[in-house]
Amino acid sequence: MDAKHEENKSESTGLDFIRRIIEDDNRTGKWGGRVATRFPPEPNGYLHIGHAKSICLNFGVAEEYGGSCNLRYDDTNPAKEEEEYVKSIEADVQWLGFKWSNKLWASDYFDTMYEYAQELIRKGLAFVCDLSADDVAKFRGPPTRPGKESPWRNRSVEESLDLFDRMRKGEFPDGARTLRAKIDMSSPNLNLRDPVMYRILHEAHHNTGTKWCIYPMYDWAHGFEDSLEKITHSLCTLEFENHRPLYDWFIDAVNKDRPKEKQIWHPQQIEFARLNLTYTLLSKRKLLTLVEEKRVNGWDDPRMPTVSGFRRRGYTPEAIRAFCKHIGMNKADSTVEMNLLENFLRDDLNKRAPRRMAVLKPLKVVITNYSDGGGAGEELDAINNPEDANAGTRKVPFTRTIYIEQDDFREVPPPKYFRLAPGVEVRLRYAYFIKCTNVVKDASGNVTEVHCTYDPATRGGDAPDGRKVKGTIHWVSAEKSVPAEVRLYDPLFKSAFPEDVPEGQDWRANLNPNSLERVEARLEPSLATAQPGDRFQFERLGYFTVDKESSPAKPVFNRSVTLKDAWAKEEKKTAKK
Ligand code: ATP
Ligand code: MG
């Protein structure tokens, strides 16, 4: 994985190919040493981790080279845009730690684009076409054969100007006519076969209201948005590589026959690979389907690969930025392991998350020889973070009855099981050695309670006689712990590549029905006052964060990521034998 990600970085400079282009441009003075980028989301959904890659790139290079980066809403499509999405996009960019130089809307340029379109008609480079959408496609033909020219291609400039004006005035119904560029119907690049520039759409726009009933197509609009903002490096994903000739053609067409001082700015489009992640999908349309079909609980469901989902899951912006930096920029699409992203979170939280004890699936343990004075018990010292000397210690209450994980007890222990079992002595973290003396079962034979004795001499966790135990387990006081709902997550999809499905099925067939498990856990009391967004390591269980639905009366935690679980591997190995 690492070798693959590094291959596109220069050996001598460690720079990816985009930063190498920028440094070359700065050396040659191509843009006068200026670096101006933009992040251009369409506000038709929440941002996902793929967008984070683009954000880190665009805002990142602007920061590194003292340039600017605009947040520009690509709102050329009137039907789908919503205020909620706009808000979420801004919150996500800010949360990732970036500041835009300007916040702009593509729709603010509609007037200018319209004038450019008239100019192209006058230059004989565009025409109004009366073909239906189906016929436009039919005439375009397959890439292997030249297409057929529209019968309207050679109508007069005056007629096209008049019809374009009437299109704008709303005289024609949706789809009746289009404005098309006159390029080359035999180009092997289909994008150059007289592409549509404007379509008729009688639809109100969130910004321009009912002013327009013709809307620019993406390819026509995008280059001018960049041009008007004097973007230097227009960074986009690989699927636009085939559109670059068109991007350049449109700007050149406006500049044709214009005197030098009237020429419009011509940015450089550079393409990089999209991010794909295993066990999830990075497509706003598909994520919207999950939300609409209520297969998840909203865009910020902690299982979603959205920036807001990761935030609610407990991810830090630092972990996401470190991940994006690590995967770097490449020229070929690939899929990155989800585990790699998780490792960046583990690394980050390992350094800064305070440690706490919590029991997810409680089993009652009574320490029969411990007298806790009617429930008062005692307070034991626990270390807040062994990775951070300044994090200090806290007190955890210990009482006669405690909870341990059901998983930490086996009546009949398998080989190499070093946790509690009849006759076996283990260490209770920060507390004492205990030894199992007896088990209590219900009528159907399930263990409901485990009885142990403790050794008072082992207070703090070590035996003065040097006696060793093989296992250390976590616990909480039964009376003094607080109940909480803890949500445990598995991948949203059963398959690493959710789009690989048998004939006749779609990606939804790969949804994992068990991606969310809710447990009634017990937490050490200091967690009762934790605030939404606070992050902790629950010892031996992983990293957890307080959910936005949490309240002091009913705490709710999300597991962000597990710790590396050596035992699970061990168990698999022994199961195979
Ligand atoms: P989706 O297919 O999920 O809707 P999109 O490309 O249509 O994504 P936009 O809102 O147009 O979404 O994207 C804004 C910017 O983010 C674009 O420059 C786009 O190239 C980039 N981007 C989107 N998805 C990814 C991804 N998976 N990896 C890297 N960059 C991405
Ligand atoms: Mg898009």
Mean pLDDT of the chain: 94
- Res. 78 pLDDT band, cuts 50 70 90: confident
* Position 577 pLDDT exceeds 50: no
- Report the pLDDT value the prediction gives residue 81, as an integer from 0 to 100: 62
Task: Report all structural domains of the chain as residue ranges with CATH numbers, in order of start.
Answer: 14-272 (3.40.50.620), 356-481 (2.40.240.10)
Pocket of ligand 1 (CB under 6 A): 40-42, 50-51, 53-54, 74, 236-237, 274-275, 282-285
For 2, the 3-state DSSP assignment is helix
User: Which tens digits make up the pLDDT trace of 276-325?
Assistant: 999 999 999 999 999 999 999 999 999 999 999 999 999 999 999 999 99
Q: Which residues contact 193 (CB under 8 A, 6 or more apart)?
A: 140, 141, 147, 183, 184, 185, 186, 187
- Res. 375 pLDDT band, cuts 50 70 90: confident
pTM score of the predicted model: 0.93
- Report the pLDDT value the prediction gives residue 240, as an integer from 0 to 100: 97
User: Which tens digits make up the pLDDT trace of 533-545?
Assistant: 999 999 999 999 9
Identified catalytic residue from 284, 321, 419, 535? 284
- Report the pLDDT value the prediction gives residue 530, as an integer from 0 to 100: 96
Q: Which residues contact 542 (CB under 8 A, 6 or more apart)?
A: 559, 560, 561, 562, 563
Residue 112, φ and ψ in degrees, nearest 5 = -65, -40
* Position 2 pLDDT exceeds 50: no
Q: Is 274 noted as a catalytic residue in this protein? A: yes
User: Which tens digits make up the pLDDT trace of 184-220?
Assistant: 999 999 999 999 999 999 999 988 999 999 999 999 9
Give distance in angstroms: CA of 237 to centre of ligand 1.
7
* Position 576 pLDDT exceeds 90: no
User: Which tens digits make up the pLDDT trace of 461-483?
Assistant: 999 999 999 999 999 999 999 99
Identified catalytic residue from 80, 274, 352, 435? 274
Query: Angle formed by the axes of helices 244-255 and 110-122, to 10°?
Result: 70
- Report the pLDDT value the prediction gives residue 80, as an integer from 0 to 100: 61
436: left (phi over 0), alpha (psi -120 to 50) or beta: beta
Identified catalytic residue from 6, 9, 23, 42? 42
User: What is the pLDDT averaged over residues 340-351?
Assistant: 96
Q: Is 425 noted as a catalytic residue in this protein? A: no
Give distance in angstroms: CA of 520 to centre of ligand 1.
39
